[in-house]
Structure 1
Amino acid sequence: MPPQINQRSPLRTFTLLVFHLLLTHFCRGESQVIGPSQPIVASVGADIILPCHVEPTMDATAEILEWMRSDLNPRFVHVWRSGQDVMNARNPSYRGRTSLFINELKHGNISVKLSKVELSDEGTYECYIPKLDKQSFVKLIVVSGAVSQPVTTLAGIDGKGGVVLQCESAGWYPEPEVLWLDAEGNLLSAGPTETVRGPDDLYSVSSRVTVEKKHGNKFTCRVQQNNINQTRDTWIHVPHDFFVVQSCSTSTTVSLAVCMVVSIILFILAVVVFVHTRRQNRTKRREDVQVKCEEEALMLMKTLEKEKQPESKRVNKEAEVSLLIDEERHQDQLKEEELNPEEQQRKKEAENMIQRLKEKLDMKKNKFK
């Protein structure tokens, strides 16, 4: 009886082959779409690659490939279908700026290249193969490529011996944070950071901190973006003597303020005394002028009286002389003539005339008095 092993050999060989193929398939596992584990950082205006590939390696040339952002409408960034790009499906903001590495598709490389990166490109992208129903996500962070070096200046004093420092920087994206460090690298407590977003969507930041002599004399302003590890540092040196001078500034300021108040009070008093003295001088001058005018008027009156007095005396004297002459003449006539009735009559008339002259003389005297 011939052996049966030779009749079963082809069946066994086929069974082993099928088993090997099945084992190989299951050992390979399912295909996966793999993306980067870390965010991708790109500068404004630069070209960047959003990496994505299939594992295990497979030819993706004939597959449908979709790159999209769920926050856009339409959401498609790049679409590959039937061995070619589908232009009409893309979001208008990405047209002409995305492309695949066609020669690499057969190796499972489905990465996309994004050209001329804009601030609005920042977001989370999805790399998707519908046939496998597998996807991966790529986070893109866009930063400004022209951030300015922080500028640190002395902004003033706080009146308590402290010095106020200010730090400014511009051209940042995304929004950075500002830190202050002392000479030993210790974090200083600073005020809130002032942030302004310009029309170009770039951020400008400004921060102030008050430092004292105990903090040292070298201080660092650090502007950084933690998610992309971008940092800019600048430092400023404050001399020790500056703190000493400023610590004395409070008492000096108080002294100056007191001196100023006293000076103002003295000035006001001086003005009041000056005005009062000037008014007194004016009043005195007016009184002196009035007295002088009265004296001049009195002197003038006396002068006029003196001028009139000699004339009256002269008139009186002339009247007296005339009267004496008349009396002498009458006496002579009386001596020469005999005392007859006619002569007595004449004598009487003469006496009457003398009497009238005396009365006239008295009237003139009373008139001048």
Structure 2
Amino acid sequence: MATVGQIIFCSMIILIVIFGAAIILLLALSFTGQLSEVMSSNVAPTANLGDDELLSCYLNAQTQPARVTDVSVTWQKTGLTGPVYLYEDGAPSLGDQDPQFKGRTQLFPDALVAGNASLLLRSVGRGDEGDYTCTISSSGGGGKVKMHLKTAAFSATTFKFTSGALTAEAPRWFPKPNVTWSDFNGNVLNGSTSFAENSVGIFRVVSTLQPVNVSETYGCRIENDLVAAVSKATVTGPGVTENTYFTFSAASSLMTSTHLSITTSVLCIYYLT
């Protein structure tokens, strides 16, 4: 039987954890810009190296600017002195733009009237990874949102069926991924995987599963800490029908705090009993 002191002690611990989780949530919302009128649909995007990436930033206000000249937008990257992109007085102002981004960035003036200041970043490289801040000032409101851009290389998986073996190939992966095979029921199967690294550190992945049965479906998952390619391949006899989709990882401090709160509550209940 728990004493009054034990009950008070555990109650205080639970309250401290709950308040801590609330503080972390407020800090997270402040970091992502959700306490201001400027927001982003993705504050932790993962860009495919060599491809273009749209960094989301928009004004979340009922009153939108009436004219594009009413809007000024500044994109900045932590660690750089010059801006990534600057738009003011109805036109780009790129005289002081950081050399890393010259000729590689674009805003869309037609979208600015609707409060959309998303930035198109062309031909993403590893040096583009980092923390970005989008700041909007307009007659309809203003504020800033921060985001962290991650870079990776990922490509869809293609399959071949020859001599009773199913082979999966993916030409571009970075960081180096893991490969997991499974049957239709999700049971893990043993495959043989090889990696070939090119001069810029990007891996070509070749993985073979054998033996396999005609008319059966197999799963192949290629993944690293940032992105996963999830594929289903059905052996049809002379060929393979396949489909692949990508998933991206994202950490949540709120989920971590909630888990900590639940764990602490369970420990206190156990302690009191």
Q: What is the TM-score when the length of structure 2 is the normalising length?
A: 0.51
Contact residue 143 and residue 174 of structure 1 kept, 8 A: yes
What do the CA deviations read for 1:234-254 (whole angstroms, capped 9, x no partner)? 5779xxxxxxxxxxxxxxxxx
Q: 1:67 aligns to what?
A: 75
Tell me, what secondary structure is at the counterpart of 2:120?
Answer: strand
Higher RCO structure (Cα 8 Å, ≥6 apart):
2
Match of 2:158 among 128, 145, 149: 149
Q: 2:229 aligns to what?
A: 230
1:178 maps to 2:179: yes
Structure 1 residues 74 and 35, CA, compared in 2 at 3 Å: closer, same or farther? same
Q: CA offset at residue 204 of structure 1?
A: 2.2
Q: CA offset at residue 87 of structure 1?
A: 1.6
Q: 1:112 aligns to what?
A: 119
5+ residue gaps in structure 1? 1-29, 155-162, 238-369
Tell me, what secondary structure is at the counterpart of 1:107?
Answer: coil
Q: CA offset at residue 110 of structure 1?
A: 1.6
Aligned length: 196
Q: CA offset at residue 101 of structure 1?
A: 1.8
Matches within 5 A, 1:1-369: 32-37=37-42, 39-40=44-45, 43=48, 45-56=50-61, 57-59=63-65, 61-70=69-78, 72-74=79-81, 76-118=83-125, 120-129=127-136, 134-140=143-149, 144=153, 147=156, 149-150=158-159, 169-173=170-174, 175-188=176-189, 195-206=195-206, 220=218, 222-225=220-223, 228=227, 230-234=229-233
Q: 2:249 aligns to what?
A: none
Contact residue 189 and residue 209 of structure 1 kept, 8 A: yes
Structure 1 residues 145 and 183, CA, compared in 2 at 3 Å: closer, same or farther? closer
Structure 2 residue identity aligned to 1:34: M
CA distance in 2, matches of 1:39, 1:185: 30
Q: What is the TM-score when the length of structure 1 is the normalising length?
A: 0.40
Q: CA offset at residue 178 of structure 1?
A: 0.8
5+ residue gaps in structure 2? 1-34, 237-273
More strand by share: 2
Identity of aligned residues (%): 24
CA distance in 1, matches of 2:105, 2:213: 53
What do the CA deviations read for 1:138-172 (whole angstroms, capped 9, x no partner)? 45555657545256778xxxxxxxx9997654222
CA distance in 1, matches of 2:114, 2:167: 55
Structure 1 residues 89 and 130, CA, compared in 2 at 3 Å: closer, same or farther? farther
